[in-house]
Structure 1
Amino acid sequence: MSRRTILVLGNANLDLVTGCIDDWPEPGTETFLPQSDFRTGGSAANTALTLQRLQHPSGIISAVGNDPAGQMIAQQFSGPHDHVSALDARTSISVGILHACAERTFFSTNGHLDLLDLSFFEAATDSVDMSGRLALLSGAFTMPALLPDHDALLGLLKERGAETAIDPGWPGSGWTEEARDHAMVWLEHSDHVLLNEKETTGLADADTLDQALVWFAPRLRKGARLIVKRGPVGALCLCDGAVVECGAKDLSVFDTVGAGDAFNAGYLHAVASGLGIDQALAWGISVAGSVISEFPRSFSPLKPAA
């Protein structure tokens, strides 16, 4: 099977995931939690690591801070397509507190992510052959310096022959008019728009997913796909007005952090391998299910039953 190279551009940071808790503790007290995992995180890095486990030709274009945390992250990306720079800043850190209901709360610092802008990605990709490759731009809302030029970077990738995908994540201030304006412009240069259900309805300013799909339909480029990740329900694709759905299996899940990023890896792996939309959705769901069923996360090869 011929497989195109996937390049992931975006955020890499350090994650401390711990839990679970039922009730938030009172200030000034100490709570002991039964489990924790200290690992590389950030939506772009999560997807890139999952692609490594799928043994798909791939790489990440990102940066870390010039501290021990940054060194730890950079050591995981030493492949021929990886480009991880060390910037003069502290590495961004996220602390994820898992709740018994399977939801989570994040406390994050931006750190080096504040320095990732258009000039960084232009320089990092200057000598990279993009022709025929699939490029995912991930975590836009975690990189404030890139926001004004996010569409310019997408345009540059397309001009250089890449098929483009975006997963901007959730805007820190919610779906304000400014955030929605940014994201609507990005649709014009995107071949694959990867969002979860809340992000889909938030961007569309809709009350239901059906209303959101009606809003998206005329705003997607011809042939472009909106992929909606629906957690335990599965996923769907909207393309040229038609909707394709794929269900998910019941899983016993403890740690859902990075589920959408793992889905992105499975989905893009299938697309870059020439598979159809039904198989691509199934791959995304299966890979995500395999990853979030682990705690702590593994580095071993993934062979999901897609």
Structure 2
Amino acid sequence: MDLDLLVFGDTALDNFHEVEKLPKKDEAADVVSSRRFYGGMGANCAIAAKKLGLNVGLVSVIGTDAEDYRTYMEKQGIKLYLKGIFGETTKSMFFKAGDTQISFFHKGVTEQLDGLNPLQEFGKTLPKNVNTVYNARTYLRMQHISCKHYSNSLKIYNPGYGTFKFDKTPNMFKSIVSLTDVLMLNHHEAKHLESIGYKPKLKTDQTYIVTRGKDGARVYLKGSVVDVPAYETKVVDAAGAGDAFNAGFITARIKDYDILDSVKIGNATASYVVEDWGCQTNLPTWDKVMDRYNKIK
């Protein structure tokens, strides 16, 4: 096996601003603290999975302002398939006051992932034998190619907040879901898709997982629905929890845990990330995840 996990997804630079209050229209508020972190749904999952012990690759694009991020990922041992593009890397801006926040996203060059054909761009350098393929966000054309090319791999899809761009469900999105083994959404994304008339129709061998924050995750298997509890901990910031969940779930599946135990391991992994600022700041090792996994009832 060339890689345990190959991630197709974004890189981003995250800027977190803690404010005294979220201002109303035409008002202002004081910033208490500001922090800059590495992020992006794809990269977050790749880094977290590497920390858990997997051999990981990342297919993405990166701007000319993020060479430090490229170097960081290389030092972490991620096998990179990056297309460098002149311009700014995607930037996320989070303004948080207590339990509420407002988020802004500067698309940057990462939006060009939608037009990336990894087979043409990276050719024979792409690994042939991959245990699991993870597609992050809604770069539909690239993701459709990855699903077709790695038809024998376990395929996991988390379209994330890209779903909020949909006012109707694209046919290519439906096609990617049909080629996917596990579909993951958070409860906000699932609710939005339902509001535009989309609800996954599972094949016998497909799984649908909805993460629900402190309420854990709900797992839809053919003919059954199971709720899996979260690990209770103090939440400092929830950004990146879903990406860590995905990494934990994928690692568990590769290690031959069943679906429900893999969800529990995903919840245990996410519990560490929410305890600090930044999506990659407080990533656990496999041993630490196992400690919390064994404590989830």
Normalising by the residue count of structure 1, what TM-score does the alignment of the two structures yield? 0.83
Contact 1:4–1:273 under 8 Å retained in 2: no
Q: 1:240 aligns with which of 210, 219, 222?
A: 222
1:173–1:4 CA distance, 2 compared to 1 (3 A): closer
1:127 maps to which residue?
Answer: 125
Partner AA of 2:190 in structure 1: T
The yes-or-no answer on 1:198 pairing with 2:195 is no
- Inter-partner Cα distance in structure 2 for 1:80 and 1:30: 39
The yes-or-no answer on 1:298 pairing with 2:273 is no
The yes-or-no answer on 1:171 pairing with 2:162 is yes
Shift in Å, 1:149: 5.3
1:301–1:148 CA distance, 2 compared to 1 (3 A): closer
- Inter-partner Cα distance in structure 1 for 2:129 and 2:108: 33
Shift in Å, 1:294: 1.9
- Inter-partner Cα distance in structure 1 for 2:237 and 2:48: 15
Q: 1:73 aligns with which of 65, 69, 76?
A: 69
Q: Deviations over 1:144-188 (max 9, x none)?
A: xx4345324322221xx32111111123754411x4544322211
The yes-or-no answer on 1:256 pairing with 2:256 is no
- Inter-partner Cα distance in structure 2 for 1:132 and 1:242: 30
Shift in Å, 1:29: 4.5
What 5-or-longer segments of structure 1 have no aligned partner? Answer: 141-145
Shift in Å, 1:110: 1.0
1:32–1:136 CA distance, 2 compared to 1 (3 A): same
Shift in Å, 1:234: 0.5
1:21–1:84 CA distance, 2 compared to 1 (3 A): farther
Shift in Å, 1:20: 4.1
Give the 3-state SS of the residue equivalent to 1:76 in structure 2.
Answer: helix
Q: Deviations over 1:190-232 (max 9, x none)?
A: 011011112123223389xxxx8xx43xx22331111111110
The yes-or-no answer on 1:106 pairing with 2:103 is yes
- Inter-partner Cα distance in structure 1 for 2:254 and 2:86: 35
Shift in Å, 1:10: 0.7
Q: Which runs of 4+ in 1 moved over 4 A?
A: 25-30
The CA RMSD over aligned residues, in Å, is 2.6
Contact 1:236–1:281 under 8 Å retained in 2: no
Partner AA of 1:49 in structure 2: I
1:154 maps to which residue?
Answer: 147
Partner AA of 2:161 in structure 1: W
- Inter-partner Cα distance in structure 2 for 1:156 and 1:118: 16
Q: How many residue pairs get matched?
A: 285
Contact 1:118–1:150 under 8 Å retained in 2: no
1:23 maps to which residue?
Answer: 22
The yes-or-no answer on 1:284 pairing with 2:266 is yes
Partner AA of 1:185 in structure 2: S
Normalising by the residue count of structure 2, what TM-score does the alignment of the two structures yield? 0.85
Percent identical among aligned pairs is 21
Give the 3-state SS of the residue equivalent to 2:190 in structure 1.
Answer: helix
- Inter-partner Cα distance in structure 1 for 2:97 and 2:35: 15
What 5-or-longer segments of structure 2 have no aligned partner? Answer: none
- Inter-partner Cα distance in structure 1 for 2:2 and 2:253: 9
1:64–1:94 CA distance, 2 compared to 1 (3 A): same
